[in-house]
């Protein structure tokens, strides 16, 4: 093996892989930059539009922090917190069950349902300022959010 081959070939392989992943007709993987540190407001849950509830409940929100893999938000009246795992270079996103902050408000069915859907999420897409969260079984998103 020549000196040229031993020095240049290892550099060409990563470049070829990068160029090959940008083939025409394929969208690049959504960058986590657009996912993290952004407040997302719930607009659809299991194919049904979600109307913003009047205060104090308001609309459900989700913010995924780039520090510490912590997700926070409002799920109606109560705030919540959970951890998440974002697999680098993929669209895989997993949530741990959410912990609700103690609140002096009644439990709402939509709030309970929303928090039960988050741990079912397995991957995401982002398009036109819309975040869609999917489970592993359905083509329809479990949850759809709009950038706030």
Q: Where are the domains of the chain?
A: 27-147
Give the span between the Cα atoms of 103 and 101, in whole angstroms: 6
Mean of per-residue pLDDT scores for the chain: 79
Q: Is the dihedral of CA 21, 146, 66, 86 positive or negative?
A: negative
pLDDT in tens, 51-76: 766 555 678 999 999 899 999 999 87
131 vs 7, higher pLDDT: 131
- E-assigned strands of 17-129? 39-45, 48-49, 61-64, 70-75, 78-86, 93-95, 99-100, 123-127
pLDDT at 80: 93
Q: The whole model's pTM is what?
A: 0.74
Question: Could you tell me which CATH class the domain 27-147 is placed in?
Answer: mainly beta
Who's near 133: CB < 8 A, 6+ residues apart? Answer: 93, 117, 118, 121, 123, 124, 141, 142, 143, 144, 145
pLDDT in tens, 11-45: 433 333 333 334 344 444 444 668 999 999 999 99
């Amino acid at each position: 093996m020549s000196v040229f081959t031993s020095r240049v070939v290892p550099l060409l392989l990563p470049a070829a892989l990068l160029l090959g992943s940008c083939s025409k007709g394929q969208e690049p993987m959504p960058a986590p930059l657009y996912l993290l540190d952004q407040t997302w407001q719930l607009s659809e849950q299991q194919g049904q539009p979600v109307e913003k509830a009047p205060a104090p409940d308001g609309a459900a929100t989700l913010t995924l922090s780039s520090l510490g893999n912590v997700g926070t938000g409002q799920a109606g009246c109560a705030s919540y917190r959970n951890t998440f795992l974002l697999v680098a270079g993929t669209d895989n996103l997993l949530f741990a069950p959410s912990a609700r902050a103690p609140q002096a408000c009644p439990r709402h069915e939509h709030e309970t349902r929303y928090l039960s859907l988050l741990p079912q999420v397995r991957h995401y897409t982002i398009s036109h300022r819309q975040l869609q969260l999917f489970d592993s079984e359905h083509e329809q998103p479990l949850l759809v959010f709009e950038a706030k």
